[in-house]
Amino acid sequence: MKNILLAVTGGIAAYKAIDLTSKLTQADYNVRVMLTDHAQEFVTPLAFQAIGRNPVYTSTFREHNPEEIQHVALGDWADAIVVAPATANTIAKLANGIADDMVTSTLLATETPKFIAPAMNVHMYENKRTQHNLATLSSDGYYFLEPGEGFLACGYVAKGRMEEPLQIVERLNQYFKNNTSATKNSRFNGMQALVTAGPTIEELDPVRYLSNRSSGKMGYALAESLAQRGATVTLISGPTHLTPPKNVEVIQVESAQQMFEAVKTRFDKMDIVFKSAAVSDYAPTELLEHKLKKRQGDLTVTFKRTPDILKYLGEHKDKQFLVGFAAETQNIESYAQKKLKSKNADVIIANNVGDRTIGFSSDDNAYTMYYKNGETISLGKHKKVILAEHILDSLETRWK
């Protein structure tokens, strides 16, 4: 049984932490809870004590056991710490090393793996200072449970909802699965892996460019999961707003040509490649030196084909296992099967981007994996961080 220390901070989403305690307990985790003073304005210690069957900790100065320092002992006891909800205030404190309550003191005093589930108004979440603080914590080794989109307490319908309890439990399940002794024998352990992610942008003039809706979330999730399984990972990323994954080399590019060059120069040393980036198929034939001015009538722009990166890799692969992605809006299976053969890939992972509830900018997706040997694996709708694990689980036994 794994020990989870749940830290609840002062936001309206604190009510979801009660459900999270229940879900964690049902999943056979041993749960202890810490509450900040502000959290107790929304929820009471008794609710967590009744569900978790453990003491609830609210003060750095109220020692339950005189033989130990409480905030140090709790961090040592836990196998993982989850801050849910994590307010902008607590995130700022943690990013700046402030320890003025039970939660921040405990997190500062331990090296136990930490998961942060932000929950706040969308403008607070998107504020540059909050994003800076999140990036700081990520570089310090924190894991993030990205907030979802929906109705917020402030009345907005936007991003900022705390991740759902069941999704948090599943993420923890995957984390512990990836950190068991069995994972040390992962097929990916010690392998060289390359992942492409995000969109590319093709410039027309100093102001305008051609791009697509890709967020890069799937590629970043794959890169992080590969690193957790022991792979040496290179992530070649188009422009995104995502925090770079831990223990991953990140190469930033913009255009399809730049991504092609970055992939081509690294391909020979790779064991497996995931081509998950949404690369522009066309680029303007001419890059204008100055801004194109408004004129009478319609505008005609001539485009040229960009390099077909997946096709190139399929033609030049030797030992490499090649995983391609197909984002389609119709005839998904037939297009995926055609791409599998024409690109000489080993697997094509296809999804329906016509469904606006999944794919691209969404946190969710649903895939079907088409293997070269004719096998088909359907992956239902999940968070992309979970889908990354399911994809790698499938490849563990099928990558020869």
Q: Which of 154, 166, 207, 292 is catalytic?
A: 154
Would the annotation count 383 as a binding residue?
no
Coil, helix or strand for 197?
strand
**Sign of torsion over alpha carbons 80, 81, 84, 89:** negative
Q: Show the beta-strand stretches assigned E in the chain.
A: 3-8, 30-35, 56-57, 80-86, 114-118, 143-144, 148-151, 157-161, 192-197, 202-203, 209-210, 232-237, 248-252, 272-275, 282-284, 303-305, 321-328, 347-352, 364-371, 376-383
- Distance between CA 183 and CA 28 in Å, rounded? 21
> Is 28 marked as a binding-site residue?
no
343 is in an annotated binding site: yes
Task: Based on the residue annotation, tell me whether 154 is a catalytic residue of this protein.
Answer: yes
Cα distance between residue 35 and residue 384, in whole Å: 30
307 annotated to bind ligand: yes
Question: Is 188 marked within a binding site?
Answer: no
* Sequence-distant (≥ 6) Cβ neighbours of residue 378 within 8 angstroms: 367, 368, 369
Was 251 annotated as part of a binding site? no
Report the side by side order of strands in the sheet with 143-144.
56-57, 30-35, 3-8, 80-86, 114-118, 143-144
393 assigned ligand-binding residue = no
Residues annotated within the binding site for CTP are 281, 291, 307-310, 325, 339, 343
Q: Tell me the catalytic residues.
A: 154
Residues annotated within the binding site are 281, 291, 307-310, 325, 339, 343
